[in-house]
Amino acid sequence: MSKTVCIYSQERDGSTDFLKPLYDHICTTLSADGVGYDADSEEDTISRIYDATKDADTIIFLGHGNSKGLYACVQDNFELFNQKNVAMLTDKSLFLLACRSSDFIKRFSLTNAIGFGHLPTSNEDAKHWNNEHSIALNDFSKDDIKLYDNAIVSILYNAIAPETISNSNLLYNRIKLQASMEIVKCLILHKDNPHYRKIADLLFYLQKDIRIQ
């Protein structure tokens, strides 16, 4: 029987707190082994994460990242996976919900993997957006970020299921379908938000920038 492990990076600034319902859903729906990294915990969670990774067939990562690594704690600049140990992720099915994880899987030629582009899921992320895709986020509020974050959780909550986690192509297409539905919802139901159009555009580029290889 295949084993699924969900790694959830809990940042001390609360920037990944919005992912907790998704983490709980994954652990329950997929009977996944959940291993979290808590930056404020004194437990040796890193060893537990690496041990779980070795035994896993499927790895789901929820947290921060960039093109060179996936973070245990971005505030401490502590990378959980990078060039030094990326071999631990080879020959596994990978779903990496982290900024620039699409570039990460491309850089290290990881197969049977799904990654994402830049995901401005916090106000700090919005500050470093640099007008990507010609979208300016300098005027984004916490409410705007919350609406975007909630949409991401809704997309993945409805896309991740036993039948999709075992089929990367099906999961990829299901995410695109759910993203389209969230875009429509944003355009119709959230016109009271002055930045609803930008939020819909961000969801469009979430859908466009997702990579499968």
Q: What is the pLDDT of residue 74?
A: 86
Q: 61 with 70: CB under 8 angstroms? A: yes
Tens digit of each residue's pLDDT (9 = 90 or more) over 86-104? 999 999 999 999 999 999 9
Tens digit of each residue's pLDDT (9 = 90 or more) over 133-173? 889 898 999 999 999 999 999 999 999 999 999 999 999 99
Q: What is the pLDDT of residue 132?
A: 86
Tens digit of each residue's pLDDT (9 = 90 or more) over 25-42? 999 999 999 998 776 666
- % residues pLDDT > 70 (the chain): 97
Q: Which of 98, 95, 99 lies closest to 130 in space, CA to CA?
A: 99
Residue 211, pLDDT above cutoff 80:
yes
Tens digit of each residue's pLDDT (9 = 90 or more) over 25-84? 999 999 999 998 776 666 678 889 999 999 999 999 999 999 999 999 888 888 999 999
What is 4-212's CATH number?
3.40.50
Lowest mean pLDDT among 9-13, 43-47, 161-165, 194-198: 43-47
Q: Which two tokens stand for residue 103?
A: 């570039």
Confidence band of 187 (pLDDT split at 50, 70, 90): very high
Selected residue with higher pLDDT from 99 and 127: 99
Per DSSP, the three-state class of 68 is coil
Compute the mean pLDDT over every residue in the chain, rounded to the nearest whole number: 94
Q: What is the pLDDT of residue 200?
A: 98
The alpha carbon of residue 103 and the mean position of all alpha carbons in its chain are separated, in whole angstroms, by 13
- As a whole number of angstroms, the distance between CA 157 and CA 168 comes to 16
Residue 1, pLDDT above cutoff 70:
no
Q: What is the pLDDT of residue 186?
A: 98
